[in-house]
Amino acid sequence: MNIYRTRVPFILMALVALLAALAAAACGGDDDDDEPAGAGQQFTLGDLTIVDPWVRTTTTDVTAAYMTIKSKGAADTLVSASSPIAGMVQLHEVITEGATSKMQEKPGGFPVPANGQVELKPGGYHVMLMDLKQQPKEGETVEITLKFEEAGEITITAPVKKAAGSSPDMNHGHGGGMGNSTPPGGMGGMSGMGSPTPAR
């Protein structure tokens, strides 16, 4: 009888210890689950971070690159870009004039606000790759060198992806075809033209 009374508390203590160990393991698993899944590509240059760059597929001699540029410090400006697959690269914006919208080169480049961000997206700011030496295909990657007024240069690698629907970014040729007008209804998100917005 004394042996029985001795074993019961021992067994209970062992069960409590086992449950505590399982609970600790479960908490560790929850921490892993909280980690972001597939956060995307990031490239860092000083206080700047280039997030999720990508290039649109094309069957012509022009295409566009998009990304988000964030600053955790002073303001800066993206002033130019280049790519080995393009004979000419320009920084473009889409603007609305009356009942039409058109694309044009952005004077002065793309400003990145201090402790903020600027978004390059279809229907807004974008890096225009022209006189393509090869047409980027889905699944490939494209090298793009970005030059900032203060931070200097960085070369990033952007995956090539298909984009749903049409965009004025692609509704033109280069040279004399620049700035062709398209109805605003085809803009697909002109309300957010890619102007600088506060970082989240």
Enumerate the domain spans of the chain: 42-183
Q: Where residue 191 falls among pLDDT bands split at 50, 70, 90?
A: very low
Of the CATH numbers 2.60.260.20, 2.160.10.10, 1.10.150.120, 2.60.40.1890, which one belongs to the domain with range 42-183?
A: 2.60.40.1890
**pTM over 0.75, yes/no:** no
Higher-scoring residue by pLDDT: 159, 195:
159
Mean per-residue pLDDT over the chain, rounded: 77
Contact by Cβ (8 Å): 95, 102: yes
Distance CA 26, CA 31 (A): 9
What tens digit of pLDDT does each residue of 41-64 get? 999 999 999 999 999 999 999 999
Give the C-alpha separation, 74 to 149, whole Å.
12
- At 181, the pLDDT band (50, 70, 90 cuts) reads very low
Confidence (pLDDT) at 31: 40
CA-CA-CA-CA dihedral for 175, 176, 179, 184, to nearest 10 = -130
Q: Across residues 72-94, what is the average pLDDT?
A: 98
Task: Please write the tens of the pLDDT for every residue from 155-170.
Answer: 999 999 998 765 555 5
